[in-house]
Amino acid sequence: MSRHVVVTGASSGIGAACARAFHANGDRLSLGARRVERLAEVVPDAFCHQLDVTDAGSVERFVAAAVAANGPIDVLVNNAGLARDVEKIAEGTGEAWREMIETNVLGLLEVTRRVLPQMIARKTGHVVVIGSIAGHKAYVGGGVYCGSKRALQPICEAIRMETLGSNIRVTSVDPGMVDTEFSLVRFRGDAERAAKVYTGTRPLTAEDVAECVAFAANRPAHVNLDTIVVMPTDQANPQMVHRQ
């Protein structure tokens, strides 16, 4: 039976690939991002709505509109997120830190807290979180991004405990390097610097990650994949990458 799948940050990269994977599976989609015009190009017939996860009012409107369009939510893919700058803590100004924490942590919580009660009431649902290997291992200049992704681990653990008995699954999909607009965003549009991140190595594609998300979501209801850590073969940890 077709499920209602909500994907945040579906205008690009991993979120767009997740949308395409669930669409191929025959699911009904509600897609959100700030660049709403790009959402319409991701999957034909998906319900698309403006969403800024850092704005509580926008999240409220997005979730209400998604439910009105497609009914109760079966799967929530919390994907919207970003890294901004590479900045040692002693050199930080706070602006990028706030943006990352407001998006990656508080934004995810704002969406999740509006979706979980309906899942608990219906005794069914799957919350997927796109974490990162940055949440498992810190790197120089990435302390706050890593912290924002590490924060998702206890959040997922707490949701599992708090919803136990309600038939709700919680999966964290934690990728290594993926070739998306991630680095372009991190380096504020500096395409040359962004391209260097992937030079001489073979990163994951957004589709590689979306396959992991879809695999977790397509397990039988009694099977919960807790955490999937997926990295390129050419990567050992956030700072060790094999380059030709």
The residue assigned the tokens 């990352």 is 100
Judged by beta carbon, residue 54 or residue 163, the one nearer ligand NAP is 54
Mark 14-39 as b/e (b = at least 16 C-beta within 10 Å): bbbbbbbbbbeeebbbbbbbbeeeeb
Say which DSSP state 200 is in: T
Judged by beta carbon, residue 72 or residue 99, the one nearer ligand NAP is 99
Residue of 47, 62, 145, 187 marked active site: 145
Say which DSSP state 126 is in: E
Distance CA 127, CA 89 (A): 32
Residues near ligand NAP (CB under 6 A) are 8-15, 33-35, 51-54, 79-82, 103, 107, 130, 132, 175, 177-178, 180-182, 185, 206
**Vertex 11: Cα angle to 230 and 83 (nearest 5):** 55
Min separation Cβ 190 and ligand NAP, Å: 14
Kindly state the tokens that stand for 193.
């610097």
Residue 145 is among the residues annotated as catalytic for this protein = yes
Min separation Cβ 167 and ligand NAP, Å: 26
The residue assigned the tokens 């979180």 is 129
Say which DSSP state 133 is in: G
Pairing mode of beta strands 235-237, 240-241: antiparallel
Q: Which long-range contacts (CB under 8 A, 24 or more apart) does 30-34 make?
A: 30/4, 30/5, 30/6, 30/65, 30/66, 30/69, 30/70, 30/73, 31/6, 31/7, 32/6, 32/7, 32/8, 32/62, 32/66, 32/80, 33/8, 33/9, 33/80
Active-site positions read 145
